[in-house]
Amino acid sequence: MRIKVINPNTTAGMTAKIGEAARAIAAPGTEIVAVNPAFGPVSIESHYDEAVSVLGVLEEVRKGEEEGCDGYVIACFGDPGLLAAREIATGPVIGIAEAAMHAASFISTGFSVVTTLNRSCIIAEHLVERYGMHHACRKVRGTDIPVLDLEETGNAALRTILDECRRARDEDRCGAIVLGCAGMADLVATVQREIGMPVIDGVAAAVVQVEGLVRLGLGTSKHGDLAWPLPKPYTGSLSHYAVKAR
Footprint (CB under 8 A) of its own copies, residues 38-97: 38-43, 45-52, 54-56, 58, 81, 83-84, 86-88, 92, 94
Q: Strand, coil or helix: what is 113?
A: strand
Mark out the alpha helices in 172-225 (DSSP H runs): 188-195, 202-215
Identity of the residue, 161 or 188, whose beta carbon is nearer to its own copies in the bound complex: 188
Residue type for 73, please? V
How far, in Å, CA of 27 to CA of 183, rounded? 22
Site residues (CB under 8 A) for its own copies, limited to 148-167: none
Q: Which positions from 203 to 242 touch its own copies by CB under 8 A, shown as an x/- string?
A: -xx--xx-xxx-xx-xxxxxxxxxx-xx-xxxxxxxx-xx
Question: At closest approach, how far in Å is the CB of 33 from its own copies?
Answer: 19
Q: Rule CB under 8 A: is residue 136 a binding residue for its own copies?
A: yes
Which residue number, 109 or 155, has a Cβ lying nearer to its own copies? 109
Per-residue b or e along 180-191, where b marks 16 or more CB atoms closer than 10 Å to that residue's CB: bbbbbbbbbeeb
State which residue, 19 or 209, has the beta carbon closest to its own copies: 209
Kindly identify the residues of this chain, within the stretch 90-129, that bind its own copies according to CB under 8 A. 92, 94, 98, 102-103, 105-110, 118-119, 121-122, 126, 129
Question: How near is the Cβ of 206 to its own copies at its closest, in Å?
Answer: 10
Instruction: Find the angle CA(171)-CA(173)-CA(179) to the nearest 5 degrees.
Output: 80
Q: How many residues bind its own copies (CB under 8 A)?
A: 94
Long-range Cβ contact pairs of 79-82 (< 8 A, separation 24 or more):
79/127, 80/8, 80/44, 80/50, 80/51, 80/53, 80/54, 81/8, 81/53, 81/54, 81/57
Q: How far is the CB of 76 from its own copies (least distance, A)?
A: 14
Q: Which residue, 18 or 136, is less far from its own copies as judged by CB? A: 136
Distance, in Å, from the CA atom of 78 to the CA atom of 237, rounded to the nearest integer, reads: 26
